[in-house]
Amino acid sequence: MSKPKKSKEKSDQKAKSTMKGNKNLILAVGVIVIVAIIAVVAYILLVPGTGGTSAISGTGTGAAAVIGDSVSVYYTGTFTNGTVFDSNVNSTPLTFTVGSHQLIPGFENAVIGMKAGQTRTVNIPVDQAYGPYNPDNIYVFNRTGSLATMNLTIGGMLTYSDPSTGMISAVKVLNFTEDTVTVDANSPLAGEPLTFTIRMASVNKIAG
């Protein structure tokens, strides 16, 4: 998703709950720091392979990944029409601990059993990906504080930092006036069935 979040980087479910639980906090612009960003944060949170996981291809080397292992993977995410929306191939591999909930469970489930050098493709339905688009995640804020002077663009992104949790989340600008700004806190991938091809780069066994 660029970061799973690592959600940069790129966590969407956390972002949605934070928007609801901290709406009043966000309105206090003096407490929330809002920064305009140009591109959508690419979330790499994946989902259970039960949506359609291919057999693992390649013989691989070393031990197979299990819960508790630290793994590094290369991935390419595509929409159903084949358009690539995110990939770290030829870049830095994504590293995470299987079962740590750093990513949506399905991605972690998909890598279980894979060895270094092996590849697997998983088809992910909407309910196992970023979920359906939720209209309740649309918010209207008063343009006070830094929002009053910020240069906004429809379709652009804003990030906000909650000082009580330290969590950074991203929202999309849907509309704005001199007095208000309307934002969408849904994941950019909400409502989309997705396909991920995952190649295992390494499996690091963590001592118990």
Q: What is the CATH number of the domain that holds 112?
A: 3.10.50.40
Q: What is this structure's pTM?
A: 0.65
Q: What mean pLDDT is predicted for residues 117-123?
A: 93
Q: Amino acid identity, residue 7?
A: S
- Domain membership flag for residue 7: no
- Domain membership flag for residue 4: no
Q: What mean pLDDT is predicted for residues 165-179?
A: 85
CA atoms within 13 A on the CB side of 60: 19
- The reported pLDDT for the residue numbered 113 is 94
- Domain membership flag for residue 56: yes
- The reported pLDDT for the residue numbered 37 is 27
- Domain membership flag for residue 1: no
- Domain membership flag for residue 46: yes
Domain hosting 65: range is: 12-204
Q: What mean pLDDT is predicted for residues 161-170?
A: 69
- Spell out the residues 6+ positions from residue 128 whose beta carbon is closer than 8 angstroms to its own: 47, 48, 50, 51, 106
pLDDT higher than threshold 60 for residue 44: no
- Domain membership flag for residue 63: yes
- Domain membership flag for residue 45: yes
Q: What mean pLDDT is predicted for residues 44-61?
A: 64
Across the strands, what pairs with 182? 140, 175
Q: What mean pLDDT is predicted for residues 2-12?
A: 40
Q: What is the pLDDT of residues 74-113, one digit of tens each?
A: 999 999 999 999 999 999 999 999 998 878 777 788 899 9
What domain count does the chain have?
1
